[in-house]
Amino acid sequence: MFDIALNEIEILKNEIKDVRKVVQIGDEREHEYKEEIVTLKTLIEEARRLGGVMNNQLKTKRVQYGTLVAKIVSARSELD
């Protein structure tokens, strides 16, 4: 009977070790996922910022285009 109890205790100890390993792996993965989320959020913010810069450049180019078209129209009028 005593041997059975010792055997059960040993089995429980092994199960506890296994559970601790699983918890440790889960904690490590959670940390990795959190780091990945931070990285992705940073990339998204950089993409938004870049999109804003490109939008401003596009607006500037459109204004420049409009100015050039107006100059062309004016030059054609003067030639006629």
Confidence (pLDDT) at 1: 76
Is the pTM here over 0.85, yes or no? no
Q: Which residues of the chain have pLDDT under 70?
A: none
Confidence (pLDDT) at 51: 97
3-state SS of the chain is: CHHHHHHHHHHHHHHHHHHHHHHHHHHHHHHHHHHHHHHHHHHHHHHHHHHHHHHHHHHHHHHHHHHHHHHHHHHHHHHC
Average pLDDT, the chain: 95
